[in-house]
């Protein structure tokens, strides 16, 4: 029995439904492992299907094709190292989330996931059956335990594997990003290592899928809790680990320890990766957006250029008579700083034509928000026309504060196919703009330096749909609004919790009212990058019709 074991970890980016493409990635990783002399090449959870499949995996033709692809991989990868890969499994009519071990042309082991997550973005209890907790499998004489993702968050599976002879733990994951999640993973996996006394390798997917971002960050921990490997966040990669067995068991030879960025960089990289993958995986190559001279569209334009390159981003300025000249100058300066195309499309003439058309029906009424929203909807119409004509996906630019309280016009500025800022509060938008002006990374396609003019960051936010309009004419100051929303949305707190935190009760009740009556808008809104555990969509599912209010 050898005292050395070589493991190749493939932190790769599958596409949901691209079974053939995902299988080809697996073959390439296996070939890299074979060249490196690996005993086992490991891919993450549900890699063959991509993740998170949602109800697609329930379709018999789909999961049968995925299982057949795994069987074909076993044949293709017969002459070389074992291959570990996640995918669906059938036992009778029951469907499981499984991890397969392929060796010598056969499926030599199959682990079935036991703990099924049924919270935040996951509904695995409605998709899969819970598998039994079994012992380890063997590769080249070494006994390996593989708790699948959620199984590693609990003590029982890992302890059972240790008690039944596992010599180390390999944990395949499809774990999506939320802010500071890597620290949570480290803490939990160190606990499993301390409980079992075994080395542990945590292998994660990377890449964007709809609103979710799988952030990679694969790592390995030795007995005692020492970090032996840390792969980068948000980036694909293949790492080769060497393990040695001594008198006290197996230990992992120390590998590269990638630096872990701060939360602002993680969020920004997540937005860039999510947009890049959303475009690539849906078949788009170019985007456009309405550039107002405000801070939200400025950040979206910057994210788009960093994700796709300036040559693939079109900025469109659509001024009305209420648009300040300074807004146009700032918008143009931003577009020029980024190096992307910008077009100038005034809407005053079109707005007047619509106003004239509606005049007989509006006779005897006073102008109100209706007329303001006509401007926003006309902009949406023009931007969608450009999108249709040139095949460029329209990005929408509303931040989480606006999305929460409905400070956006449905079928107007909410029009679009993707929203990078959907889970970022306004106060954090300001912080992120300052961060990007001071930082640049190799994964950014945009230029170095202060790309967002300081005046855009400093100016009071305004929708510019009426004379001298400011956001704070309609909303509490953003510091107050965001503080209340963090309690009501992110913490699922109450009006009493808001008051206890120092906020005015009337402000809290008003924000709660706006939050609930805007549900119908969010139901029809574009997907956007998930940055927190309480993003709008799968994390927080509320009825559109809802008469309840917190009376405390």
- The structure tokens listed for 238 are 């293949």
* Active-site annotation holds for 77: no
Give yes or no for a contact between 408 and 421, defined as CB atoms under 8 angstroms apart. Answer: no
What tokens does 195 get?
């409980």
pLDDT band at 290 (very low <50, low <70, confident <90, very high): very high
The predicted-structure confidence for 127-177, as pLDDT tens digits, reads as follows 999 999 999 999 999 999 999 999 999 999 999 999 999 999 999 999 999
- Would residue 149 show up in a list of annotated catalytic residues for this protein? yes
**pLDDT tens digits along 390-427:** 999 999 999 999 999 999 999 999 999 999 999 999 99
**Catalytic residue of the set 45, 167, 402, 512:** 45
Res 470: pLDDT: 65
Domain architecture of the chain: domains with CATH = 4-260 (3.60.110.10), 264-523 (3.40.50.620)
Residue 248's contacts (CB-CB under 8 Å, 6 or more residues apart) are 223
The position carrying tokens 């017969």 is 78
Mean pLDDT in residue range 325-345: 94
> DSSP characters for 495-508?
HHHHHHTT--HHHH
Cis peptide before 52 (omega within 30 of 0): yes
From 77, 103, 149, 422, the catalytic residue: 149
Number of neighbours of residue 537 by Cβ within 10 angstroms: 18
Catalytic-role residue among 77, 103, 113, 426: 113
Chain centroid, CA 146 distance in Å = 25
Helices marked H in 77-154 = 124-127
Torsion sign across C-alpha atoms 127, 130, 131, 134: positive
pTM of the complete model beyond 0.85: yes
Q: Respond yes or no: is residue 402 known to be catalytic.
A: no
Residue 443 tokens, joined: 């994964």
Region 86-105: what's the mean pLDDT?
97
């Amino acid at each position: 029995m050898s005292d050395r074991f070589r493991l190749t970890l493939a932190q790769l980016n599958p596409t949901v439904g691209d079974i053939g493409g995902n299988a080809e990635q697996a073959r390439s990783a296996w070939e890299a492992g074979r060249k490196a002399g690996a005993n086992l090449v490991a891919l993450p959870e549900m890699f063959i299907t991509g993740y998170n499949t949602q109800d697609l995996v329930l379709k018999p033709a789909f999961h049968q094709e995925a299982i057949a692809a795994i069987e074909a991989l076993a044949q293709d990868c017969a002459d070389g190292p074992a291959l570990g890969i996640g995918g669906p499994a059938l036992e009778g009519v029951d469907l499981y989330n499984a991890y397969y071990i392929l060796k010598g042309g056969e499926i030599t082991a199959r682990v079935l996931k036991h703990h099924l997550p049924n919270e935040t973005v996951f509904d695995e209890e409605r998709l899969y059956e819970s598998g039994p907790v079994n012992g380890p499998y063997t590769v080249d004489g070494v006994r390996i335990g593989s708790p699948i993702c959620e199984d590693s968050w609990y003590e029982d599976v890992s302890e059972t594997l240790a008690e039944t002879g596992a010599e180390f733990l390999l944990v395949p994951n499809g774990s999506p990003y939320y802010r500071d999640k890597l620290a949570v993973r480290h803490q939990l996996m160190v606990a499993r290592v301390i409980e079992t006394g075994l080395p542990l390798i945590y292998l994660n997917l990377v890449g964007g899928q709809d609103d979710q971002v799988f952030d990679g960050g694969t790592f390995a921990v030795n007995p005692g809790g020492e970090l032996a490997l840390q792969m980068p966040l948000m980036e694909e990669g293949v790492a080769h680990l060497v393990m040695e067995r001594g008198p006290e068991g197996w230990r992992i030879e120390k590998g590269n320890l990638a630096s872990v960025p701060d939360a602002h960089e993680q969020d920004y990289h997540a937005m860039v990766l999510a947009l890049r993958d959303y475009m690539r995986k849906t078949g788009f190559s170019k985007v456009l957006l309405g550039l107002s001279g405000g801070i939200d569209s400025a950040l979206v334009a910057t994210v788009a250029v960093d994700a796709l390159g300036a040559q693939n981003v079109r900025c469109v300025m659509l001024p009305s008579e209420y648009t300040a000249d300074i807004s146009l100058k700032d918008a143009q300066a931003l577009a020029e700083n980024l190096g992307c195309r910008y077009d100038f499309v005034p809407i005053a003439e079109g707005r007047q034509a619509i106003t004239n058309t509606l005049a007989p029906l509006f006779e005897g009424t006073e102008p109100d928000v209706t007329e303001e929203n006509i401007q926003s909807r006309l902009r949406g119409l023009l931007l969608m026309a450009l999108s249709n004509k040139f095949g460029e996906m329209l990005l929408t630019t509303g931040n989480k504060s606006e999305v929460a309280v409905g400070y956006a016009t449905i079928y107007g500025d909410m029009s679009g196919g993707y929203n990078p800022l959907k889970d970022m509060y306004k106060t954090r938008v300001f912080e992120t703009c300052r961060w990007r002006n001071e930082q640049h990374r190799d994964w950014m396609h945009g230029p170095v330096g202060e790309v967002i003019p300081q005046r855009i960051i400093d100016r009071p936010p305004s929708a510019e749909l009426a004379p001298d309009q400011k956001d704070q004419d309609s909303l509490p100051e953003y510091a107050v609004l965001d503080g209340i929303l963090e309690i009501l949305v992110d913490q699922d707190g109450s009006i009493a919790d808001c008051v206890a935190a120092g906020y005015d009760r009337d402000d809290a009740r008003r924000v709660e009212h706006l939050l609930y009556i805007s549900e119908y808008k969010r139901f029809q809104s574009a997907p956007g990058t998930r940055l927190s555990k309480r993003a709008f969509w799968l994390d927080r599912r509320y009825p559109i019709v809802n008469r309840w209010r917190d009376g405390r």
